[in-house]
Amino acid sequence: MKPIFSAENISAGYGDVVIVHDVSVRVAEGEIVAIVGPNGSGKSTLLKSLLGFVRLFQGDVFYQGEDITGIAPDRAVSSGIGYVPQINNIFPNLTISENLDMGAYHRKSKDSVKAGMTEIYEMFPELEVRKSALAGNLSGGERQMLAIGRAMMAEPKVLLLDEPLASLSPKPASVILSKLGLIKENHVAIMIVEQNVKKALSVSSRGYVLVNGTCVMEGDADSLFAEESSQQRFLGLETKSIDS
């Protein structure tokens, strides 16, 4: 499949320190791709580098066939690239509906905003029943649903998720993964960075394995966990912590 979003030969990090070394990833429309690996493998750094949140030393980023290397984060969102960070991804002092409204700032009419709200509540009925509740009072799983819903209010064609299952117990984690399946059905490309390898690959068609900032394996999700050596890498038995 032709990728809608891709990055080639990415090297990135903080200050003068290179964390990610020559990594290439891609995702097609309606596809979920996982970037997995042990804690400290540079997964989040890679994702942040694609949207200018950390320093990009080398590489190129493409969206819908156009070179967008160095694009500003706000311009990326308005172009159709959604991003949900691991933390600080909601406004805790605003209600659920107000958070969703904040994600719709680029929509041109009230009717469009209303239609977007309806779509999000259909996808996340758990949010609709509490739409007047302050976001700061939500559970971890509800917060992640709200963060994803707010990103979806911008009508992205690509959704980048940084550790959406972090600190979640198995039940809410499974709910979040089921929501990603619904988003995929709407032809949105999803790139998910996740330490929970089995869960991330369970909803993905393909995956990339990062170890110490380098892509050591890539391929179909079903095949990535087949070899004992790959399981060792997933579990971090061959790594030293650098950056999450």
DSSP string, the chain: --EEEEEEEEEEEETTEEEEEEEEEEEETT-EEEEE-STTBSHHHHHHHHTTSSEEEEEEEEETTEE-TT--HHHHHHHTEEEE-SSS-S-TTSBHHHHHHHTTTT--SHHHHHHHHHHHHHH-HHHHTTTTSBGGGS-HHHHHHHHHHHHHTT--SEEEEE-TTTT--HHHHHHHHHHHHHHHHTT-EEEEEES-HHHHHHT-SEEEEEETTEEEEEEEHHHHTSSHHHHHHHHTTT----B-
- Architecture per CATH, domain 3-89+156-235, reads as 3-Layer(aba) Sandwich (3.40)
Structure confidence by residue, pLDDT tens digits, 35-90: 998 888 999 999 999 999 999 999 999 999 999 999 998 899 999 999 999 989 99
**Chunked in runs of 10, what are the mean pLDDT values of the chain (244 residues)?**
95 96 98 92 95 95 96 91 94 96 88 93 95 96 96 96 93 94 95 91 94 92 68 48 42
pTM of the model: 0.91
pLDDT at 212: 92
pLDDT at 238: 45
